[in-house]
Structure 1
């Protein structure tokens, strides 16, 4: 069994992207490689075998040219509030628990993780594992399944990633060695420096000093990877709040507190004719927007209250009066209706709240979760789409309303106002297909570049692989992983 685990000196050091790049690099060399992340915490999920895994692991599966499956991310935590989260194990929701409760349950979940690990390693030449957060978070070490707890249980060697762009990378790597215990430190067999800008020779002394102080060999200095911007982000904290370009039309997306599946908008961000604005809390929605999209959310009722607290409901009402268009996706679709009922307290306190009242539909939240990949066509123009649903709740029309989409099995999804300006649906990744995206942009007065999002991502993965081939000692990495050709 050959495997190596990438852990980081902190969150957002680039672990997900590097795993994806290495997976594509090794797949291009002809190896059967698979990704693995024991525990992920993200509301950006993807469908795999009718279950849920982190979006990053689905991307890494694409990098491997493999079908995603639930063993690639056996434990997924989806935050619903500041203190509570939904727990997904082997793709299925098993409950909701608080942060303190989860600390007690981590140990019992290790068995589930190792079951997935055994199945995955039996099907691959090599597995590239992604850690979560940092092993230096020693306050979370007891019962850990995300970093060293897993590495030691499975006997997987570790390469530590440091992010030089944020500063203090020497202290981050050396400090990690200083605070973790000796047995954990012995699992680390090397380090990588990520996100370097400028002349790498200026870091030669720093690189050597890390090697001297830790005893770990350096495996390379990776430059800032431009291709990474073409890939979906895993965490909302890294969303770019600036406009993506000076395109002719503005599309605005309010950044809800529990925004989910925000990679829905990546295809729009790459369109030269679109100025996509991810609007942060405290900022008004732009008055010149042609389209406002209400995104998915892990907590519809709480985020509807959050939307109103920001004054975005007033901005949306003014936008509609000016003749602007609105689209709601998943939780955003539920918000557009007349009411949202939660009689069983699925999202918290039981009750009913008033929606934005822009579509004649109502939603009832239930404990059953629909997780499925779907294809179909939009009803108004017949353009194809391929995406997925991940949601609780059922939405029904209160009066005659035109559906937005027809699924391949003949079922209808979504709703469109009589004037065609307000619409909603449950389908994530609606804009990935160039024909579907092009139809939306044409109605707004813009032209699409016609590039399929999957093709764009595939090109970016090949570019990442080429960069890593040039800057990482891959042969030494394979030796650490225990791979023998």
Structure 2
């Protein structure tokens, strides 16, 4: 019989995803067949599975930690925000539709059978499933029809571990307060608590742990010290991206932070290069003088392009180009670089067309068919093999496509300007490839390091597992999950 346990948090960004990844690696190293699961995720940072489905980036990392290929059943519902009040719904890896928040709140319970179907499929292949909640069960206004936290725990009859974040402050109140607002049946599912992100001497919080135990009746599974290397793991939330200040002697890449920025883990390998400064440009800030402006992916290209213009970033980018600077566009950013983005079916808003930045002689036609697929090809200029993945709506064509950036099976992908200083591609994950990244950085004047990015991700997962082994009652988690070990 497959064991399972759910990790819920007192709020968003308390570290659930990283803890589950670390535990997945830890238990997998012990020979346990472990699989991650998140019934509902909300993120524009998606991964593509081998069969072309979409799941949250965090679940792809957790799968990697467990030694598994990512599966659509590890994250059966993925919400990809398209506006402040609506999101595209990905169900078991495929586009299900778009709903406004109010409609989704009323209909989300309809997705529970598919979620339970995915959960049962995983159970056939695993000894232990580590389930991650979303947000917080304390949001009791969302409890009716819930599929992300206690609603799923109830449907699957799971025990729960509650995680609090001491770094943000108020961890005693958040843990005790969560218990106070939950209905009795939900309280009884919580078996223990865990305090995460402790800076400094953990023994200084011994009295705090005792106070939480006394107020809740729950045992403590430990106080986890701050894991400083978490930034080396692919980020799922833009809040996890700190960026750099421009450092002397480095190549500076300026990245405008778009409201619906997507697949920004493209930046992770670049942030770890000591010879590169990745400067995140926040709303209200001008794009600084830099060597490269990189326009990232976007879930809603037309709306984010309008935001670029509202911020005056279009003026900054064009001035950067006139000074001889380089410009890179990835996915939605690639579409923005062209002359026109046409949306005749109104997929991103009212039907019509909008002018792009005009830095590439291409045009994009948005169409309902969505491309989600792994990519394996080569860099046209160097012949280096490169791999990644595509997630996008639309097709892009025009004269600059005669100079493709990449090539696959004889067909070009992406576009390069006549002088080679502006280029775009639909392929995500390019800079994770060490050979490609080093070649590209050398070409544009940087000093690449000997960073082995993918190997470093695995080493970081191992160090995270060691970190949790030292500070968490990992055997107790197995007992609560239903695994009896000798």
Work out whether the TM-score is over 0.5: yes
String of CA shifts for 1:293-316, please: whole Å, max 9, x gaps: 110000000000000111111111
Q: CA deviation at 1:438?
A: 0.7
1:168 matches 2:170? yes
Larger displacement relative to structure 2 (236-245 or 266-275): 236-245
1:197 matches 2:199? yes
Q: CA deviation at 1:198?
A: 1.1
Tell me the residue number matched to 2:441. Answer: 441
1:124 matches 2:126? yes
1:347 matches 2:348? yes
Q: TM-score, normalised by structure 2?
A: 0.98
> Which structure 1 residue ranges, 5 or more long, are not aligned?
none
2:463 counterpart SS class: helix
Confirm or deny: 8 A CA contact 1:359 1:417 kept in the other structure: yes
Confirm or deny: 8 A CA contact 1:385 1:430 kept in the other structure: yes
Confirm or deny: 8 A CA contact 1:297 1:332 kept in the other structure: yes
2:431 counterpart SS class: coil
What is the distance in 2 between the residues matched to 1:217 and 1:300? 48
Tell me the residue number matched to 1:38. Answer: 39
Tell me the residue number matched to 1:416. Answer: 416
1:209 counterpart SS class: helix
* Structure 2 counterparts to residues 24-423 of structure 1, below 5 A: 24-48=25-49, 49-243=51-245, 246=248, 248-287=250-289, 289-398=290-399, 401-407=402-408, 409-423=409-423
What is the distance in 1 between the residues matched to 2:411 and 2:131? 39
Q: CA deviation at 1:247?
A: 5.1
Task: Give the CA RMSD over aligned residues.
Answer: 1.1
1:425 matches 2:425? yes
String of CA shifts for 1:417-475, please: whole Å, max 9, x gaps: 11110000000011011111011111221222232321111011001000000000011
What is the distance in 2 between the residues matched to 1:483 and 1:325? 55
Confirm or deny: 8 A CA contact 2:360 2:400 kept in the other structure: no
2:407 counterpart SS class: strand
String of CA shifts for 1:148-198, please: whole Å, max 9, x gaps: 000011011100000000000000000000001000000000000000011
What is the distance in 2 between the residues matched to 1:217 and 1:269? 39
Confirm or deny: 8 A CA contact 1:360 1:401 kept in the other structure: no
Confirm or deny: 8 A CA contact 2:253 2:293 kept in the other structure: yes
Confirm or deny: 8 A CA contact 1:271 1:448 kept in the other structure: yes
Q: CA deviation at 1:237?
A: 2.9
Number of corresponding residues: 483
1:306 counterpart SS class: helix
What is the distance in 1 between the residues matched to 2:274 and 2:208? 40
> Which structure 2 residue ranges, 5 or more long, are not aligned?
none
Confirm or deny: 8 A CA contact 2:43 2:81 kept in the other structure: yes
Provide runs of 4+ in structure 1 moved above 6 Å: none
What is the distance in 1 between the residues matched to 2:248 and 2:34? 40
Q: CA deviation at 1:244?
A: 7.5
Confirm or deny: 8 A CA contact 1:161 1:191 kept in the other structure: yes
